Structure 1
């Protein structure tokens, strides 16, 4: 795209790898091996979160430091406000580390979308929500099969007390819910909110800059655009937190649903 043009962006703008290693043939299709900016952001977030968790808990004390208190507050929020409430006080404890890890990873990478100089939410790239959803998918199905048995897991999907003639249709609908709808909506909800929110901020920030460069009255108009960009950034921080919370809340709900005795 020529400098100064105002034509709509093409798909190449969404694929800008930092390092390319070449291509490989995978199932008859060419796949490019590369390191992308979102990959670096996720790797950086994992390193920073690991350092933070180790640094704040290495010398844990009865009277916590500020760092320990902050980490414990987040942990207790996931433990008591998500895992215990959604899974139940009898079975929730083994799943707390999994849900806590998912929450802090998603939240930190969401907030990367508003933290300078990164300002790119990694979860706004569909591959990352899909990868996290696959983890949840495997966990709750494995738990369900382990508790009910393979055949019993499918029987468990059918509510008790239904007449026999309607059970096949209900089983089909439940299988679509368990195997298709749940993972699809879990991944798309996180991706869609992060992608749309990021684009909205870009519109106000870059739009304000374009107006500012025009001079005259348009320079004055750029000020409300930047004020709106700031307001939307604050609002986006809340949305990013809520999306991390909703993701782990639904994950805990699916796990809890797989552990109940009856559907």
Structure 2
């Protein structure tokens, strides 16, 4: 796990191990052995599945992973969440991967990273009174865990799917050039909730040449290329315009929308945009 520096002073758990003094290393090894024994004992009663089952209730699970190509701990989380997305099938599980930019200075610039993604993670840090690190997974804007922890991820999804908010949203999209016209309709009392819409690239592969993942080929899923924030009309329905890339097509991209409370970060409803006339890729 990589902790994000609070104000320019870097704190890297993995990297600092390289510079530990011998005495510290001995202590670390002893502690690691103790942790290994403890984990082994725990796993006898609660095994850690590599492929967590997704059990559906009546709620939704919006999984926002904050990740980076410059973080050696992140590929495991990327792979786990990609599997969760696939295993969910038609269940209301929505995976969004935000590539942050604060690790770009470590020798490799993540081509999918953006400052806005990092700012969204910092906002969650404020909502949840939590540290900022990668890979960090935020579930329904209400709880967070390490994105590569299969047991914690499974439990968080289970809890999310078994909570209901009384809200629902439907989204219909019509593409016109590089603009998506999205008709929305909200059922229930939206209150101060806002409509957020993300343009998502389903898959990508990167050849990382430098940094902690130097020499590795990384597979990415559900990459948030851009996201937008809209006010919901008083009558709970309307149309918003969402810019999409020139390469946008129904096979390789999708648009996901959700209702989020701006004061608390809680997400109350989510769905995929039904694309009526989006260009197909053959």
Instruction: Give the TM-score normalised by structure 2.
Output: 0.20
Instruction: Give the TM-score normalised by structure 1.
Output: 0.21
| Greater helix share, structure number | 1
| Greater strand share, structure number | 2
Question: Of the two, which has the highest radius of gyration?
Answer: 1
